[in-house]
Structure 1
Amino acid sequence: MTRPLLLVGQPLLAPLLPLLRTDHDVIALWETPASDQLRKVDALVWAGEFPLGRDLMDAMPRLTLIACFTVGYDGVDLPLARERGIAVAHAGNANAEDVADHAIGLMLAHRRWIVAGDRHLRAGAWTIESKMRTRSMNGARLGIVGMGAIGIAVAERAQAMKMKIGWWGPRPKSDLPWPRADDVAALARDSDILLVAARADERNRGMIDAAILDALGPDGLLVNVARGQLVDESALIAALRSGRLGGAALDVFDPEPTDPARWADLPNVVLTPHTGGATHEAVGRMAETLMANLAAHFAGLPLPSPVADMMLERG
């Protein structure tokens, strides 16, 4: 029996090769496969944040599935896939709880001066006179942009911390206990902390712009665990430099990896290198979901974790 042929797209997915080869024939894009090999590819395993070009899809006329190892799939041209009858799968909510933990951690790190305090102590600057006061989480107003799986998981954690929660998303959700703002600007004006947890696409690129940052204000904190492209990064840096925004805690950037020089002289930021969902446990769940999507597809069964068209929020 002929085994399905998979093309694996990025070197960062190389650890998956032994697992994938148990049930499939596998070739790697970074090893520059010949055009006749690409013509035989049945499914593409892809890291969804990377743009998937039309030229590559054109080279694979037998392609019937794009299986994103990641939760995100913003690099995939969904209309083109739909036009060609190509199914698209992703990792579902495999890392939502871990990203939510990271988001809360970024808030705590910035608001309670944990990272800066560590540096302050190590530099020998801690004296009786220099003792700092930080801001409590209890009673802080948290605005969440994008109330999908990650946004809900953060709200549940924040509620346990006695924070006041509001949110905005493109569609009302009657089953949520937290109030939905009229728009992002209104949410920012009513928040001490604005968390970006929305799914990214070309329609919401730069949605957190200078006007939203001004609405959040000089005491406000912007936290982003979604995609860097959702924030106008130049406007963010300008707002931080001028003091129009109180601070930022970021796990994602535009582009990635970010140039550290952009942030070198901004002391009011906490930065992590897109590690919010990168836990051993989440990656294990992502691998299990990938294998389940592939097995179901080639068995002619419904995908366990298909991409729903036109989704703007995570989850």
Structure 2
Amino acid sequence: MAVPAWMCLAPVSAHAENTLDKIRRTNTLVIAFPDHHFPFAESTGDGGAAGYSIDICRKVADAVRSELKLPQMQVRLMPIDINSRFEVISSGQADIECGTTTNNASRRSRFSFTIPHFYTTTRMMVRKESGIRTWLDMRGKRVVTVRGSSILPYVKARDAAGVLSLRWSEVASDLDAVAMVADGRVDAYAEDDVLLYSYRSATANPDALEIVGEALSVDPYAMMMRKDDAAFKGVVDREMVRMISDGEIYGMYDRWFMRPAGTRKRALGLAMGYVLRDSLRFPSDKVAE
């Protein structure tokens, strides 16, 4: 069985310098982000980034400045993809990953996560004309997933439970997966539903695609950091609690999910779900599997 490259990296404990010491030495906080995961994070074309996750991490940066008494501390934004995100954190190239990474047991064995800022579920994107509405409608059909995505075990379990005999394809990027659905090379693209809504909104003909299928999971997105770095994680966690307690996070959510936003001024119209709303009442980095 192939082993993901990030699992072969040297343990984080091998780094003699903790994150706050590194930031103090370099006067820079490095934020890794996925460059086209609207509304969470996307490149703005000028070396910058914007999105719900980015807004949260800019507040974290302010908290780090205050903690270290470094008013001139710089923030460097590092665009990444779904596979490189683990390496840049483990190797110390970036200090925190701000995007759409799921906090699950496998990843917690190597990384730390702060309080979730979103909850998603696994569904699928199909062509509206396909007639596919449920996972049972996928019997014998072609599904594509993106290499490195955390949704694969859920889809494989649904495949086995329903004896669907799915025909699998795997690609390196979400843009490739969307294109394969749009031009009919596959019947469905399985992914986090919020990302599917985002990708659909960016296509030339969004009305030709729809998001269907019963939810296969409930997964928390959270900012990812190096493991066993309690001092830095404490700063991040305290700032998350402050944003939640002061109500700032609700305004951030509304800005990015309910209004036209981003480089294309898209509005997803996704109201805050009850799972996230309930979790924010009692903020915790502990999540259920």
Give 1 or 2 for the bigger CA radius of gyration.
1
Structure with more relative contact order (C-alpha pairs < 8 Å, separation 6 or more) = 2
TM superposition score normalised by structure 1: 0.32
Higher strand share: 2
TM superposition score normalised by structure 2: 0.34
